[in-house]
Structure 1
Amino acid sequence: MKNASTNFRHLYYFWVVAKEGSITRAAERLGLAVQTVSSQITLLEQSVGKVLFTQQGRRLVLSEAGEVAHKYADQIFLLGEQMQEALDGAGNLRTRLTVGIADSLPKLTAFRLLETTTRLALPVRLVCYEDQHDALLADLALHKLDVVLTDRALSTGSTLRVFSHMLFESEMTVVGTAGLAAAYAEQFPKKLNGAPFLLPTRNNALRTKIDEWFELQGVHPDIVGEFEDNALLNTFGRRGLGLFFAPAALAVDLAEQLQAVLVGRVPQVREQFYAISNERKIQHPAVAAILASVHQGELGSG
Structure 2
Amino acid sequence: MNLKHLHYFWTVARTGSVAAAAERLHLTPQTVSAQIKLLEGSLGTPLFQAAGRGLKLTEAGRLAMSYADEIFALSDALKASLGRQRGAPAPPFRVGISDAVAKNIAYRLLAPVTQLPEPVRLICHEGKLDRLLAELALHRLDMVVADRPLPSGIRVRGFNHKLGESEIAFFAAPRLARSCGKFPACLNGRPLLLPGEDSTVRSRLEQWLEAERLSPRIVGEFDDAALMKAFGQAGQGFFPAPAVLAGEVEAQYGVREVGRTEAVREAFYAITGERRITHPAVLTITEAARDSLFID
Verify the 8 A CA contact 1:54 1:63 in the aligned structure 2. Answer: no
Report the CA distance between 1:232 and its aligned residue. Answer: 1.9
- Aligned-partner Cα distance in 2 for 1:137–1:17: 17
- Aligned-partner Cα distance in 2 for 1:180–1:17: 57
Q: Match for 1:299 among 289, 293, 296?
A: 293
Q: Match for 1:160 among 141, 149, 156?
A: 156
Q: Is 1:126 the equivalent of 2:143?
A: no
Report the CA distance between 1:64 and its aligned residue. Answer: 5.6
Q: Is 1:169 the equivalent of 2:165?
A: yes
Identity, in percent, stands at 38
Q: Is 1:233 the equivalent of 2:243?
A: no
Report the CA distance between 1:54 and its aligned residue. Answer: 4.7
* Alignment-derived partner of residue 50 in structure 2: 52
Paired AA for residue 140 in structure 1: L
* Alignment-derived partner of residue 243 in structure 1: 238
Paired AA for residue 171 in structure 2: V
Structure 1 unaligned residues grouped into runs of 5+: 1-7, 19-36, 38-43
Q: Match for 2:257 among 249, 253, 262?
A: 262
SS of the equivalent of 2:121 reads strand
Report the CA distance between 1:195 and its aligned residue. Answer: 1.1
Quickly say closer, same or farther: Cα 1:17–1:180, change in 2 above 3 A: farther
Paired AA for residue 202 in structure 1: E
Quickly say closer, same or farther: Cα 1:270–1:261, change in 2 above 3 A: same
Verify the 8 A CA contact 1:197 1:242 in the aligned structure 2. Answer: yes
Q: Is 1:217 the equivalent of 2:197?
A: no
SS of the equivalent of 1:52 reads strand
Report the CA distance between 1:145 and its aligned residue. Answer: 0.6
- Write out aligned runs for 1:1-302 (5 A): 15=14, 52-54=50-52, 62=56, 91-184=87-180, 186-296=181-291, 298-302=292-296
Quickly say closer, same or farther: Cα 1:135–1:179, change in 2 above 3 A: same
Quickly say closer, same or farther: Cα 1:264–1:16, change in 2 above 3 A: farther
Runs of 4+ residues over 6 Å off in structure 1: none
Verify the 8 A CA contact 1:93 1:123 in the aligned structure 2. Answer: no
Quickly say closer, same or farther: Cα 1:111–1:244, change in 2 above 3 A: same
Indicate the RMSD between aligned Cα atoms, in angstroms: 3.5
Verify the 8 A CA contact 1:53 1:63 in the aligned structure 2. Answer: no
Report the CA distance between 1:235 and its aligned residue. Answer: 2.1
* Residues matched between the structures, number: 256
Worse-matched range after superposition: 204-213 or 114-123: 114-123
Report the CA distance between 1:177 and its aligned residue. Answer: 1.1
Verify the 8 A CA contact 1:294 1:300 in the aligned structure 2. Answer: yes
Structure 2 unaligned residues grouped into runs of 5+: 1-7, 21-28, 34-47
- Aligned-partner Cα distance in 2 for 1:101–1:147: 9
Report the CA distance between 1:51 and its aligned residue. Answer: 7.8
Quickly say closer, same or farther: Cα 1:161–1:211, change in 2 above 3 A: same
Paired AA for residue 222 in structure 2: F
Verify the 8 A CA contact 1:99 1:147 in the aligned structure 2. Answer: yes
